[in-house]
Amino acid sequence: MTSGRKNRTKVDITYSILSTAKNGSLKTHLMREANMNSMQITKMLDTLVSNGLIYVANGKGSSVYQTTPTGEQFITRYEDLLRLMDNSANGRQIELRQKLVK
């Protein structure tokens, strides 16, 4: 029996974290939004920081994670890809329907 839950890719998780951190977020908020545990989010944030997609700003006693301009480009391209895939899938469905009608 399956739970019906799709496995997320690293790219999907990256998008989730970057879009949540656009206006600055605490680690716990990112962890909750990305549905990850502390060890997973720490590893992922380290990777995103080292790749220049996110940076750490010191807030009032806590670290605030903020998406960089490069991270915002990632978000834009990810969303473009989703739109492209959706339009492509819709186009194929219309084609199939037209063939069935004939």
Write down the pTM of the prediction: 0.78
Q: How sure is the predictor about 7, in pLDDT bands with cuts at 50, 70 and 90? A: confident
Query: Does the pLDDT at position 5 exceed 80?
Result: no
Which of 8-17, 57-66, 79-88 has the highest mean predicted lDDT (pLDDT)?
A: 8-17
Closest to 48 measured CA to CA, from 76, 8, 16: 16
Span 20-48, mean pLDDT? 95
The pLDDT score that the predictor gives to residue 71 is 97
Q: Which two tokens stand for residue 56?
A: 């750490």
**Radius of gyration in angstroms for the set of CA atoms belonging to the chain, rounded to a whole number:** 18
Q: How sure is the predictor about 99, in pLDDT bands with cuts at 50, 70 and 90? A: low
